Amino acid sequence: MGRTIQLASQSGSRMPIYEYKPKLETGCDFCSGGFELLRKISEPKLLACPQCGVAVERIISAPNLTKSSPSLDPANVEKHGFTQYRKSGKGVYEKTAGKGPSVISSDD
Ligand SMILES: [Zn+2]
């Protein structure tokens, strides 16, 4: 898959990871097949590959959601087809997102 390069030093603030791919089939080793970039929100949109200058576009989907975002926002969980449960008691799990039974009890 693509490589990740970092354009800014770790400052403690969260920076979104954007994934880009060349608009055309051509590209260099770096950008062909897509690449990821950590960018501050305030930075301008990346329009060209930093290596070869070919026009690139952002990929809207978030293929690395689980890797890059530890947040288990119920809306995200549900959107990606998962069901999330929260332990609400001894052996009892309450559904917070997704499809499935609203309560799971694992009482023996
Ligand atoms: Zn390139």
pLDDT per 10-residue tile (average), the chain, 108 residues: 56 74 90 88 88 91 53 72 83 85 79
Q: Say how many Å lie between the CA of residue 78 and the centre of ligand 1.
A: 35
Query: CA 20 to CA 56: how far, in whole Å?
Result: 6
Q: Number of helices (H) and strands (E), helices first, in the chain?
A: 2, 7
Alpha carbon of 23 to ligand 1 centroid (Å) = 11
Does the reported pTM lie above 0.75?
A: no
Residues bordering ligand 1, an ion, CB closer than 5 Å: 27-28, 30-31, 49, 51-52
User: Residue 104: what pLDDT?
Assistant: 84
Dist. CA 74 → ligand 1 center (Å): 36
Task: Measure the CA–CA gap between 37 and 15, rounded to whole angstroms.
Answer: 10
List the structure tokens of 98: 């997704």
Question: What does the pLDDT read at residue 12?
Answer: 54
Give the Cα separation of 11 and 77 in Å (integer): 28
